[in-house]
Amino acid sequence: MTKTTSAVKAFISKQNCEPLAYQNVERAVEAICCSEQFRSLLLSLIDSPAFSQELGREFAQVDAVKGISACRKLRTCLNLSFSNFFGVLAELLAAFDEAKAQDWYEFANKIHSSELGTIKLIDYLKNSAEGKFYQDLAERLVRENPHAIYPTSSYRESRGYVESTPDDQTIEAVMRSSTFTSIKVVDNSLDPEQLLLRDMYISHGRCVCLVDQNVDGYFGEQLEHYFDYHGIQLDKLVYRAMEVDKGIYTVEKMLGDFKNLGVSRNEPVLIVGGGVLADTGGLACALYHRNTPYIMLSTSIVAGIDAGPSPRTCCDGFGYKNLFGAYHPPILSITDRYFFKTLKEGWLRHGIIEIIKMAVTKDAQLFEMMEQAGPRLIETRFGTVDADADAEINLLSQKILGAALRSYVAAEYDNLYETHQCRPHAYGHTWSPGFEIEAGLLHGHAVSIGMGFGAYLSLRLNWIDEAQFQRIMRLISSFGLSLWHDIMYRTDTLWASQQKIFEKRGGNLAAPLPKGEIGQCGYLNYLTRAELDRAVAEYRLICLEYPRKGLGIEPHCSDVGLEDPSTVAHAPLESIGINSQPLSAV
């Protein structure tokens, strides 16, 4: 146990908690903030290495991982309002002593509803009996640690240094940026008794929310009730979010809505929807003020374990997938499988491939769990329909979602800006971008074809053996996902996609493929046109041996009620139901 966790434990054991029960909130705040224990904790949190791996390990060693996010936020505690500060402090203390933290949660609720709630901690401390100390501290932090006193966001930090020639005609600079986020698997996140979203927004007094039009039809009233129950204003913006809407015009409309509502640079936007809204809404947040935080509440499998926590926000353009984009991860990503209850099987099916890709290239145990669960994941909507609370599929579903997220985030966030192309989570995404739109395929079916074909290339290279290849193919097929589509006969399309990938990946193919064992990954960097043509022809014959001759169930966007992107990729906006005004703004 090192400095930061020791300070938290010391505060819990030594801080007098009697003031928490005072009826007079101002008197209680004065008693707490003027204590020696409070000052010691504050200084420790301000000085904590918030973005270091060591801090994470320190918290993990004392089984307090749930408090890491709160600790990192509290490095900017002086800039927080009382409402925000005491709420986050209670979250930190709960990771160490949940029983004692309950008193702090109750006290935070008093602060939320009091006039003190909007006062910044530093402003109060400067005018307290300890004012001289905190005035000097603030001045020192301006020089030594400006992030602690005047942060733009509690979630980001940047550093840099320069070297120059004596005459300053040549200057060399290095810049570093750090950010942190939280990823949570939560059931029934819109139940008023589930306080995760409330705690994120209560200190702001309102929530600006982008919500998928289809999701709003099912959950709009529940969303409104949640925030109304907690006395938080909800500014809800409803957007249609089909694949054909994933264009720059959608992002532009979102930016206009943010401006009209006066979204501030430290106010997290809530995005409630699937992969398309995660991509477009996240990109709008990246562009607005150049960096506006957002929270992702995922309502689909694709969003829940891939697009939701992904730092890669984007939209399509000129007929190309994800041509425009920015690296801008959410500050909190929530995967709530209870939203899956309303999804059509086809929507669930195509999202599951994003779990399988991580299992094949990064997590053998996850692969085994997917084999164990099989199509029951679809039939029970991940254990939320026709499954008792203690049923095997219910527990297995939770483990699968958590493991998929851990594997994905570990791969994605270790290479936040794609500064290299050793990216296992890009498995299946080398040739599929070239034929997905042209074939009108759901994203998951395009990726599953790319994964099957990639597994065959691994077999030809002797990177995996026949048994491993068959396991991968059988798992994909067992969920009704595509191993083949006749678009693959158009090898000109595949070759063109491969050429574009070379441009996108810095002059390398770097196609991630299973190598060695399931759960491990290697990278294919060269494949000639002749090799590609020959491999496709051979792969086709293998697919014929699988159920449905390798074809997927409801593989096309039109099969699940979505517009065919191949017919609208170059269409005028008005022809696909898009106008210059927001679809809905409440």
Kindly report, residue by residue over 340-380, the tens digit of the pLDDT: 998 889 989 999 999 999 999 999 999 999 999 999 999 99
Question: Is the per-residue pLDDT at 565 higher than 70?
Answer: no
Alpha helices in 52-202 (DSSP H): 53-61, 68-73, 82-94, 98-112, 121-126, 131-144, 146-149, 196-201
Give residue 573's pLDDT band: very low, low, confident or very high (50, 70, 90). very low
Please report which confidence band the pLDDT of residue 464 belongs to, taking 50, 70 and 90 as the band edges: very high
Residues of the chain with CATH 3.40.50.1970: 182-343
CB atoms within 10 A of CB 255: 17
Domain 182-343: CATH class, spelled out: alpha beta
What percent of the chain is predicted at pLDDT more than 70? 96
pLDDT per residue as tens digits for the range 35-64:
999 999 999 999 999 899 999 999 999 999
Q: Which one, of 406, 411, 343, lies nearest residue 377 by Cα? A: 343
Task: Give the pairing of strands 294-298 and 312-317.
Answer: unpaired
The pLDDT value recorded for residue 340 is 92
Position with higher pLDDT, 585 vs 231:
231
Q: State pLDDT tens for residues 386-397.
A: 877 668 899 999
| Integer Cα distance of 216 and 213 in angstroms | 5
Confidence (pLDDT) at 581: 34
How confident is the model over 317-344, as a mean pLDDT?
Answer: 91
- Whether the per-residue pLDDT at 583 is higher than 70: the answer is no
Residue closest to 257 by CA, chosen among 281, 275, 293, 286: 281
Kindly report the CATH class assigned to 419-555. mainly alpha
Residue 469 burial (CB count, 10 A): 20
Could you tell me where in the chain the CATH 1.20.1090.10 domains are found? 419-555
Asked whether the predicted pLDDT for residue 205 surpasses 90, the reply is: yes
3-state secondary structure 19-74: HHHCCCHHHHHHHHHCCHHHHHHHHHHHHCCCCCHHHHHHHHHCCCHHHHHHHHHH
Residue pointed to by tokens 């709420």: 87
pLDDT tens column, 521-549: 999 999 999 999 999 999 999 999 999 99
Instruction: Decide the pairing of beta strands 511-515 and 182-185.
Output: unpaired
